[in-house]
Structure 1
Amino acid sequence: AGALLRGQVAVDTLVQTRAGIERIVRKAFELARQSNGAPRDGVRRVTCCDKANVLRSYAFFRSVFDEVAKDYPDIETEHALVDAMAMHLVLKPGHFNVIVSENMFGDILSDLAAATVGGMGMAPSAEVGDANGFFQAAHGSAPDIAGKGIANPYGTILSAAAMLDWLGRGHGDERLLRAAEQIRHVTEACLANGLLSADLKGKSSTAEITGNVCDRLAA
């Protein structure tokens, strides 16, 4: 029977632990508390994204989320199935503040979310643990444009802001938090002034954008 089925069936097992779910869900609520709320209405909320209607592991994720949510009565909560979430991120991205999900769904939705703000070149990322953090733009190395001076530097710049946020909160250093906010403010100003890279349908080079950001920060 084994020989007959070879090449016909593949099975993967998804394992989710209470400790792991609690850890990431609490992080989501803490991020919401530190934020200014959702862009559209300013409400601090955490959205639990899962597939609880089909898969038991995701129903478990949702149940642990609901337990942890009781410790954060000041934060609004809601649930969304992942297929519906893909639609909501396109139609009403400003509604969302913090979205928490299992790793695979998060991996997929993070790319979709990046597209809503201009593409992967605009997306910062932070991979943080209890003691260490790693910060980088969400896109890959893009060897096809290496050395051409047209890469979008905003994702990396905003990742630096996320790093300063993380360090500032970890060390209680308001200077780092102010620096992070200033980087975001300057980034918004540069974008508003038309400093757009090729992926944003602009003509500004990597060096030109970076230079302008640095000059504005130094002013």
Structure 2
Amino acid sequence: MRQFRIAVLGGDGIGPEVIAEGLRVLRAVERDMKETTFVVEEHTAGAGEYLRSGDPLPDSTMQACREADAILLGAMGLPAVRYPDGKEIAPQLDLRERLELYAGVRPVRLYHPLHTPLRDHAPGSIDFVLFRESTEGMFWSRRNTYARNAAEVVDLLRISRSGSERLFRAAFREARRRKGRLTLIDKANVLPAMAYFRMIFDEVAREFPDVETDRVYVDAAALYLVRDPGRFDVLVTENLFGDILSDLAAGLVGGMGMAPSGDIGDRHALFQPAHGSAPDIAGKGVANPVAAILSVAMMLDWLGAAETRAAAGRVWSAVEAVCSDPQNRTPDLGGSMSTSAMGSRILDAL
């Protein structure tokens, strides 16, 4: 019997609500497994924990994440809770950096035409994966400090060869599993660091001659995502560019409630809905749990056992079946289903 330890960090706002639905799905597929079990361990982290103890990511939580087979996270941060320097509480960034979760993986798929603001798009016509470098780039400067009376503040964009190579290889492997197309998103026409980023991409591309590649500047990529999202299969980019474009991409398929994500390294991986804590709707039972449930599916696939990968396929199929019916919509999609009702509908479809 294979046992997987899952560290669960519900976090803030709607995080615990949507993760509860993801765990219902996890337990449902577990019941059909003959050789696999999950030990779920819940730990505290986030803005609420910062208010309680002064530390948004306690040592005990960090250690549990290091020891777990995978991490499942809800949402962290509250707009009104900030460090003294004005930055928002974001321990998920600490987890990415400390565990070297360098590949931010953001799948984007359209399940129903009513979910997109674009005209004439059938289910599945928008279907791509964005890879975002998650440990450096412009976020490298996030720990910088500055004097309140400073005449200027300078943040640095860090691109390293090792960080870029491992990101690109992960993206190429994913492109090889999918349709064999990979698009680099950069700003190599202006920034020397981006020209370096592109040079490393071109070098790694020679290791994957079977994968078709193209290169698009980030401003043009924003345009193409809106005008012709079907041109993309796998995209790879820097941290800040990926942060922005992944939200734009989510908006093409129904919003952040439809946006799962994984932050994946060589030894550890964390899975979470890409949305924020949404404190304005916390406790109302109206948050969309689809992103959390799809993040559970990503986790099951990443764990790599035959049973967990089969279970991931079942979850993806159940979400596809439920979301293809326009009656199944939470308020963010223009419907009236509650969080638990949407979770139950997906459970019924498993």
TM-score of the pair, normalised by structure 1: 0.88
CA distance in 2: counterparts of 1:127 and 1:13, whole angstroms:
23
Paired residue type of 1:180: A
Structure with greater strand share of residues = 2
Aligned to 2:256: 120
What is the percent sequence identity of the aligned residues? 52
Aligned to 1:45: 181
Considering Cα pairs closer than 8 Å and 6+ residues apart, tell me whether 1 or 2 has the greater RCO: 2
Aligned to 1:33: 176
Paired residue type of 1:198: P
- Equivalent of 2:309, from 177, 185, 189? 177
CA distance in 2: counterparts of 1:73 and 1:176, whole angstroms:
31
1:46-76 Cα offsets, whole Å, 9 max, x none, are: 1100000000000000010011011111111
Aligned to 1:190: 322
Q: Does 1:211 align with 2:340?
A: no
Paired residue type of 1:201: G
1:86-113 Cα offsets, whole Å, 9 max, x none, are: 0111111122111111111111111111
Q: Does 1:108 align with 2:244?
A: yes
CA distance in 2: counterparts of 1:202 and 1:100, whole angstroms:
33
- Equivalent of 1:138, from 271, 274, 285? 274
1:112-143 Cα offsets, whole Å, 9 max, x none, are: 11111110110001011111111010001111
Please report how far the alpha carbon of residue 189 of structure 1 lies from its aligned counterpart in structure 2 after TM superposition.
Answer: 0.9
Tell me which moved more, 48-57 or 92-101. 92-101
What is the number of equivalent residue pairs in this alignment?
A: 201
CA distance in 2: counterparts of 1:193 and 1:12, whole angstroms:
46
Please report how far the alpha carbon of residue 165 of structure 1 lies from its aligned counterpart in structure 2 after TM superposition.
Answer: 1.4
CA distance in 2: counterparts of 1:97 and 1:167, whole angstroms:
23
Q: Does 1:54 align with 2:187?
A: no
- Equivalent of 1:199, from 323, 332, 349? 332
1:155-205 Cα offsets, whole Å, 9 max, x none, are: 00110111111112xxxx232222212211111111112211100001111
Q: CA 1:178 to 1:95, structure 2 compared with 1: closer, same or farther past 3 Å?
A: farther
CA distance in 2: counterparts of 1:50 and 1:193, whole angstroms:
37
Paired residue type of 2:252: T
CA distance in 2: counterparts of 1:70 and 1:112, whole angstroms:
30
- Equivalent of 1:72, from 189, 208, 216? 208
1:15-62 Cα offsets, whole Å, 9 max, x none, are: 211111001000101111223x2xxxxxx2111000000000000000
Please report how far the alpha carbon of residue 10 of structure 1 lies from its aligned counterpart in structure 2 after TM superposition.
Answer: 2.4
Paired residue type of 2:151: Q
CA distance in 1: counterparts of 2:230 and 2:295, whole angstroms:
21
Specify every segment of 5 or more residues in structure 2 that has no aligned partner in the other structure, as ranges. Answer: 1-148
Q: Which runs of 4+ in 1 moved over 3 A?
A: none
Helix, strand or coil for the counterpart of 1:13? Answer: coil
Structure 2 contact 321–349 (Cα < 8 Å) conserved = no
Q: Does 1:90 align with 2:226?
A: yes
CA distance in 1: counterparts of 2:340 and 2:167, whole angstroms:
37
Specify every segment of 5 or more residues in structure 1 that has no aligned partner in the other structure, as ranges. Answer: 1-5, 38-43
Aligned to 1:11: 154
Please report how far the alpha carbon of residue 8 of structure 1 lies from its aligned counterpart in structure 2 after TM superposition.
Answer: 3.4
Helix, strand or coil for the counterpart of 1:145? Answer: coil
Structure with greater helix share of residues = 1
Helix, strand or coil for the counterpart of 1:16? Answer: coil
Structure 2 contact 164–200 (Cα < 8 Å) conserved = yes
